[in-house]
Structure 1
Amino acid sequence: MFKSILLPTDGSELSDKATAIAVEFARLHQSRITALTVIQPLLLPSLGDSGAVADAGQYEIQMQDAARAHIERVAAAANTAGIPFEGVIAMSPNPYEEIVAAAEKYGCDLIMMASHGRSGLSKLLMGSETQSVLSHTTLPVLVLR
C-alpha cells in the first residue's frame, strides 16, 4: 500500500518516537524511508548600536551538524531493521514547504510526522508545521503524538 515514506525529523524526543513507529511500519509494509531535516536560517534582527553580532556562519555549521545527527539516528534505526533509507537536509524559513516538496521529489506516498501539540499562544506565535503540511499536500499524512 505505502511503499515510500517521508519522515520529517527535528531530533526531538517526539521525533525519535515517530522514527521508531515509522521504521516498524516500513518493515511491516516493505517500504522505504526518506528522512528529512529542515534547518531554518538565522534571521538577524536589527541590533542598532548595541554592538551585538550573531555569527551566521557558526550558526549554520552548528545546525548542519545537528541535522546530520538527526538523520544519522533515523539511518541507524532503518539499517538495523533492514529498511531502505535516504537522508535529506534542506534549509528553508518554512519547513512545511520543504516537507511537501521533498515528498513529491522523492516519490513518497505517505508523510509520517510527529506533532508537538502546541496550543494557545505558542501555536499562534510558532505556528504548526503539521497543520501547514496537512493544508498544502494531497498525500496522506499520518500524524504521530
Structure 2
Amino acid sequence: MAHYKHILVAIDESPISYAAAEHALDIAKLFGGKVTLISVIAVDPFSGVDFYKVAPAVTDYFMQAEQNALDRLNDLKQTFTREGIDLDIRIMHGLSPSEGILQTSKELPIDLIVMGSHGRKGFQKLVLGSVAQKVLGASEIPVLIVKE
C-alpha cells in the first residue's frame, strides 16, 4: 500500500471541494502526511490588455476572488491544524485550474492529488470541460476524485 506523505487538495467555492478536503484530512491522519490546499484564481481574460485602467470594477472582482479564496483556505486550515495535520495553503493566478493543480504537483513533493468532481455530463462537460478529467489524464501521480 502506498504511503501518502504530501497530499495536494484543490479547493474552490463548491461543496464537493470541501468533501475532497475531508477525504484528504482522513488520509493525512492515517499516514501522518502533510497537506497543501490550493485554490486557482481563474485565468484573467483581459491579461495583456490595459483594461484595468479602463474598468476598476474588473480589478475589484479579481481582488475579491482572491480574498474569497484566501478566506476558504484559512477556514479549512483551522480544521486541519486542530487535527494536528501540517498544512500549507497556496493561491495561484494566471493559469487554468487544471494547469495550476498540475504545476503545483510537480513543484512540490506531492504523492497524491485529491479533488472534487462536479459530475458534469454531456453538453455541459463539452462546453465547460472537466478540471478533474484534465488533471486525471495528465497527472503522473495518483489522483483521488471525490464525486457528488
The question of a shared fold, defined as TM-score above 0.5 by the shorter chain, is answered with: yes
Over 3 Å counting, the alpha-carbon distance change for 1:63 and 1:142 in structure 2 is: same
The residue that corresponds to 2:109 in the other structure is: 107
CA distance in structure 2 between the partners assigned to 1:18 and 1:35 by the alignment: 11
The residue that corresponds to 1:88 in the other structure is: 90
Give RMSD over aligned pairs.
1.6
CA distance in structure 2 between the partners assigned to 1:81 and 1:70 by the alignment: 17
Any runs of at least 4 consecutive aligned residues in structure 1 with deviations exceeding 2 A, and if so which? 41-44
> TM-score normalised to the size of structure 1?
0.89
The residue that corresponds to 2:136 in the other structure is: 134
> TM-score normalised to the size of structure 2?
0.87
Q: Report whether the alignment pairs 1:3 with 2:5.
A: yes
CA distance in structure 1 between the partners assigned to 2:95 and 2:125 by the alignment: 17
Contact 2:43-2:96 at 8 Å conserved across structures: no
CA distance in structure 1 between the partners assigned to 2:75 and 2:18 by the alignment: 8
CA distance in structure 2 between the partners assigned to 1:41 and 1:55 by the alignment: 16
- The one-letter amino acid paired with 2:77 is A
Task: Please state how far the C-alpha of 1:60 moved relative to its aligned partner.
Answer: 1.2
Task: Please state how far the C-alpha of 1:43 moved relative to its aligned partner.
Answer: 2.3
- The one-letter amino acid paired with 1:30 is G
**Among residues 58, 65, 68, which one is paired with 2:67 in the alignment?**
65
Contact 2:114-2:146 at 8 Å conserved across structures: yes
Task: Give the gaps of 5 or more residues in structure 2.
Answer: 47-54
CA distance in structure 1 between the partners assigned to 2:18 and 2:37 by the alignment: 12
CA distance in structure 1 between the partners assigned to 2:78 and 2:65 by the alignment: 20
